[in-house]
Amino acid sequence: MAVLGPRVRGRARQGQGMTTTSGPLVAKGRSFSTVCLIELWERFGYYGMQALIVYFMVQQLGFDDRRANLVWGACAALIYVSPAIGGWIGDKILGTRRTMLLGAAVLSLGYACMTMPTVNSWLLFSALGVIVVGNGLFKANAGNLVRKIFEGDDSKLDSAFTIYYMAVNVGAAVSQLFTPWVKDYVNVVYGHGYGWHAAFAVCCIGLLFGLVNYFLMRQSMRHIGSEPDYRPIQWGRFFAVVAGAVALVGLSAAILQYEWLARLFVIVAGLSVLAIFLFLINKGDRRERAGLIAALVLIVQTVFFFIFYQQMSSSLALFALRNVDWDFTLFGTHLWTWSPAQFQALNPIWIMVLSPILATIYARAGSQGRDLPIAAKFALGFAVVAVGFFIYGFAAQFATQGKTSSWIMIWGYGFYSLGELLVSGLGLAMIARYVPARMGGFMMGAYFVSSGCSQYLGGIVANFASVPEGITNPLQTLPIYTRLFFNLGCAAVICTVLALAVLPWMRRLTRIHQGLD
C-alpha cells in the first residue's frame, strides 16, 4: 500500500471518525448507496440510448442491417475499451471520484448532442464519440470505488457486486421501457421523427439527475477514492485530460465512419491487452502471477460471453421488430402491448428478479464455506445462456404467419439474464479478487477493453442474420434469425465444456494466489 501524504491521512481519519460513530457497516452502506445511485442514472441514460440506436439508424437514417450492426458493434467496443484509459486517469491523474463525476458530465453532453433534430450520420458519430469518452471516464472508476469500499472481504465483495449489478439494472429497465414510449408518443403527436430526439433528451436528463443526487450525498464518499482525490486539483493536468478527450471524440467518430479503421482498432486493442497481461505475469511474483493468469483465463471466457451479449441490441432487437408478436396474451386474454425496443427491458427486469436470489445464495454458501469458485459460476453461466438461445432458435415452432409469441422473448431473456449474472455480473468481482490493488483501476479498464473487442465481434456475428434489402415478409426473415440463434446456442454449449475443462487448473491457480499451495 502506498504511503499517504498529510492531506490524505487527514481525510482518512475523517472517514474513520465517521465509521466509528455510525459503525463500519452503516458507513460502507452509505458509500455503496451513493455509488449505486449515480451508476443507476448513468445506466438509465446509456440503456435508454441503446434501446433505440439500431432502430434509429435503420428506420430514421436509412442504414441497412449490416451497417447498423457494425456501427453499433464498433461503438459498443469503443464504449467498453475507453475505461482502460479512464481507469488510469482515475488512479494516477484526477482521482477515482473526480474522474467518475467528469465522465457523468461528459455523458450528459453526448446525449444532449443526440437531441438535435438535424442529426445526420457524421453528427450521430460525433455524439456517440462524446458518449464513448464520457463512458471511459465514468465506468472503470465507478466499479473501482465499489472495490475500495469492500476491499479485503471476498464473500461480501461478490454479494456487493451482484447487488450493484441489480441496482444499476433498475435504471436500465425504467429507461428501456420509458424512452421507446416517449419516442412513439412524440412521433405520433408531432411527427417528423422528433420522438427519437425527445427520447435521447430523456437520457440526458437522467444523467443530470444522477449528478445532482451525488452532490447531495457527497459526504459519504469523502473517505473513498484514490490518492489524487485527496489532493487539490492540478488544473494543468485537468485541461490536458480535456484536450485528450476532444481528440478521442474525433478519433471515435472516424472509427465509426470507416469499417476498416474499426477492425484495425479492435485488433490493436485486443493484442495490447494480451501483451500487457503477459508482461505483468512475467514481472510478478508467484502469487501475483497465479492471480493474473486466473484473471486472464476468465477474461477470455468473458470475451466469448459478450459476443452473445451484443445480440440483444442487434440481431435480437431486429428479430423483435420483424418476427415477434408485440401483444402479450395469456390463455387467450390480451394483457398488454410493447413496442419492439421495449423487449430489451426484459434483460434488466430479469436481472432485478434474480440478483437478490443469487446474492443470498452467495452469502449463505460463503458463510458455510461451500461457495462455488468464480470459474465454476462462469461455466454454469454459459450453460444457462445456451438454454436461452436454444429457446430463440426454436421460436418458429410457436410462430403464426412468421410472428412468434412474445413469451419466447420473456423466457429466452430469463435464461440469458441468469447466465449474464453468473458471468458478466461477477466479472468486476473477479478483477477485484485476483488482481493486486495497486493496479485495480487499470485492470478494471483492461477487463472492459476485452469486453469491448468482443462487442465488435458480436456485431459481426449478428450480421449472419442480416436481412437482405427488399425482404419484408416475416415468413422469409424468421428462419434467418432462428438459424443464427440455434448456432449461438451450440456455441454456448462448447464454451461450457471448455470452462469445465479448465476448472482443475483454475482451482490450483487460486490456491497459489491465496498462498495455500
3-state SS track over 441-490? HHHHHHHHHHHHHHHHHHHHHHHHHCCCCCCCCHHHHHHHHHHHHHHHHH
How many CB atoms lie under 10 A from the CB of residue 218? Answer: 12
- Picking from 354, 300, 248, the residue whose alpha carbon sits closest to that of residue 502 is 300
Residues 328, 73: Cα–Cα separation, whole Å: 30
User: What is the number of domains present in the chain?
Assistant: 1
The residues pairing with 400 across neighbouring beta strands, listed in sequence order, are 403
Q: In the prediction, which pLDDT does 128 show?
A: 94
The residues pairing with 329 across neighbouring beta strands, listed in sequence order, are 334
CATH number for position 309:
1.20.1250.20
CB 452, CB 76: distance < 8 Å: yes
How many CB atoms lie under 10 A from the CB of residue 189? Answer: 10
- Picking from 424, 446, 429, 445, the residue whose alpha carbon sits closest to that of residue 136 is 445
Q: In the prediction, which pLDDT does 4 show?
A: 38
Q: In the prediction, which pLDDT does 511 show?
A: 77
Instruction: Please report whether residue 107 resides in a domain.
Output: yes
Count of CA atoms in the C-beta half-sphere (13 A) of 132: 33
- Picking from 87, 126, 140, 73, the residue whose alpha carbon sits closest to that of residue 248 is 126
pLDDT 10s digit of each residue in the chain, 517 long? Answer: 333 333 333 333 344 444 444 455 666 667 777 888 888 889 899 999 999 999 999 988 889 999 999 999 999 989 888 887 888 888 888 888 888 889 999 999 999 998 887 667 888 999 999 999 999 899 878 877 877 777 666 656 666 766 776 777 788 899 999 999 999 999 888 877 789 999 999 999 988 988 888 888 877 777 777 777 777 888 888 899 999 999 999 999 999 999 899 999 888 888 888 888 888 788 777 777 887 887 888 788 888 888 998 999 999 999 999 999 888 777 777 777 889 999 999 998 998 888 778 878 877 877 777 777 777 888 888 999 999 999 999 998 888 888 999 999 999 999 999 988 888 766 666 666 777 766 665 676 677 788 888 889 999 999 988 888 878 898 999 999 999 999 999 999 999 998 888 888 877 877 777 766 6
Q: Are strands 327-330 and 333-337 parallel, antiparallel or unpaired?
A: antiparallel
Residues 318, 316: Cα–Cα separation, whole Å: 5
Instruction: Please report whether residue 97 resides in a domain.
Output: yes
- Residue 484 CA from chain centroid, whole number: 23
Instruction: Please report whether residue 259 resides in a domain.
Output: yes
Q: In the prediction, which pLDDT does 7 show?
A: 35
Q: Which domain holds residue 217?
A: 22-513
The residues pairing with 399 across neighbouring beta strands, listed in sequence order, are 404
Residues 282, 293: Cα–Cα separation, whole Å: 10
Instruction: Please report whether residue 13 resides in a domain.
Output: no
Count of CA atoms in the C-beta half-sphere (13 A) of 382: 26
Q: In the prediction, which pLDDT does 400 show?
A: 87
- Report the b/e string of 238-273 with b at 16+ CB within 10 A: eeebeeebeebbeebbbbbeeeeebeebbeebbeeb
How many CB atoms lie under 10 A from the CB of residue 318? Answer: 25
Instruction: Please report whether residue 12 resides in a domain.
Output: no
How many CB atoms lie under 10 A from the CB of residue 210? Answer: 26
Phi, psi (rounded to 5 degrees) for 328: -90, 125
Residues 315, 416: Cα–Cα separation, whole Å: 15
Owner of C-alpha cell 474513520: 16
Nine cell digits for residue 228:
489524487
The helix (run of H) or strand (run of E) holding residue 336 is strand 333-337
Residues 44, 32: Cα–Cα separation, whole Å: 18
Instruction: Please report whether residue 369 resides in a domain.
Output: yes
Nine cell digits for residue 241:
485530460
Distance spanning both ends of the chain, measured CA to CA: 24
Residues 376, 61: Cα–Cα separation, whole Å: 44
Instruction: Please report whether residue 9 resides in a domain.
Output: no
Owner of C-alpha cell 413469451: 407
The helix (run of H) or strand (run of E) holding residue 218 is none
- Report the b/e string of 27-60 with b at 16+ CB within 10 A: bbebbbebbbbbbbbbbbbbbbbbbbbbbbbbeb
Instruction: Please report whether residue 1 resides in a domain.
Output: no
Residues 181, 324: Cα–Cα separation, whole Å: 18
- Per DSSP, helices labelled H in 310-399 are 315-323, 346-367, 374-393
Residues 457, 158: Cα–Cα separation, whole Å: 28
Q: Compute CA distances 334 → 119, 331, 403, whole Å.
A: 38, 9, 16
Q: CA torsion angle for 226, 106, 240, 126 (degrees, to 10)?
A: 140
